Amino acid sequence: MAGYVLGIDVGGSSVKAGQVDVTAGRLSGELTALPTPQPATPAALTAVLKQLAWQYPDSRGRIGIAFPSVIKGGVVLTAANIDRSWIGTDAAALAQRASGRAVLFLNDADAAGLAEMRWGAGRGCTGTVIMLTFGTGIGTALFSGGQLFPNTELGHLELNGMDAEKRASARARTEEKLEFPAWAQRVNEYLAAMQRLFWPDVFILGGAVSERFAEFAPLLSSPAELRPAHFGNRAGVIGAALAASDERH
């Protein structure tokens, strides 16, 4: 469906929203961001989603919401970086009641991957592509032949006895005050583990840290091609809007 669609991306520190031109694959205007409530309970976060939705009355159709969880049928099934009271919640129904509009919830990394595969760094890739978003955790989106295998959650792969995202996420780099060489070594370990399992042709590296790709890219090593995400921290918003506009979802 052509037109402007509202995309929202729920993160650990902020909730971003933007109106997206889903025919051209770009934002129409600037992103709006509000702090993620702490704790991010269903009631507290739904109030933020409602506030953001009301700021974009000209957007059309369903609202797309990228969320840091496994999502099936609009229901939240995991809570690695959100309040555990979300587990079992029909998030789509909750947000629909609050906003008065139909809502599509999907995994945040899947949303980012959809944007990159349609319009960004993965455009035209027909092999195996893995989108990695480095932020509060590590989000993953797996594509084969251009098709998404949803809810992979490969940031929880075990790496040196712990979840990979506890060791190699952007938050781990910040909290442990790691310079890029030390952090890149951890990322290389993670890329190698992913390579052994999936043999991808391309890794797309996203999240806010991707804005500094030129600084740490020479420190990375992988048989797969490494590409920076085209949309950076806008990918979740754009991909959520794309998914909401696509009748197949």
Q: How far is CA 7 from CA 22, 176, 245, in A?
A: 10, 32, 10
Quote the number of domains for the chain.
Answer: 2
Same-domain status, 98 and 145: no
Residue 248 pLDDT > 70, yes or no? no
Same-domain status, 149 and 192: yes
Same-domain status, 66 and 150: no
Same-domain status, 70 and 151: no
Helix axes 91-99, 42-54, angle to 10 degrees: 40
Same-domain status, 214 and 177: yes
CATH of the domain at 70: 3.30.420.40
Residue 163 pLDDT > 90, yes or no? yes
Q: What is the pLDDT of residue 249?
A: 41
Residue 80 pLDDT > 90, yes or no? no
Q: What is the pLDDT of residue 81?
A: 77
d(CA 135, CA 112): 13
State the pTM of this model: 0.94
94 found inside a domain: yes
d(CA 245, CA 115): 12
**How many C-beta neighbours within 10 Å does residue 179 have?**
9
Same-domain status, 100 and 189: no
**How do beta strands 63-67 and 103-107 pair?**
parallel
233 pLDDT band, cuts 50/70/90, is confident
78 pLDDT band, cuts 50/70/90, is very high
119 found inside a domain: no
Mean pLDDT across 181-206: 97
**How many C-beta neighbours within 10 Å does residue 4 have?**
20
117 found inside a domain: no
175 found inside a domain: yes
247 pLDDT band, cuts 50/70/90, is low
179 found inside a domain: yes
d(CA 113, CA 146): 10
Mean pLDDT across 204-223: 94
Percent of the chain past pLDDT 90, that is, above it, reads 84
Q: What is the pLDDT of residue 1?
A: 40
Same-domain status, 22 and 90: yes
> If you average pLDDT over every residue of the chain, what do you get?
93
Q: How far is CA 124 from CA 127, 139, 143, 162, 202, in A?
A: 9, 22, 12, 35, 12
116 found inside a domain: no
156 found inside a domain: yes
Same-domain status, 72 and 154: no
Q: What is the pLDDT of residue 133?
A: 95
Cα angle 95, 147, 171; round to 5? 60
31 found inside a domain: yes
pLDDT digits (tens, 9 = 90+) for 84-132: 999 999 999 999 999 999 999 999 999 999 999 999 999 999 999 999 9
Domain coverage including residue 203: 124-229
Same-domain status, 183 and 154: yes
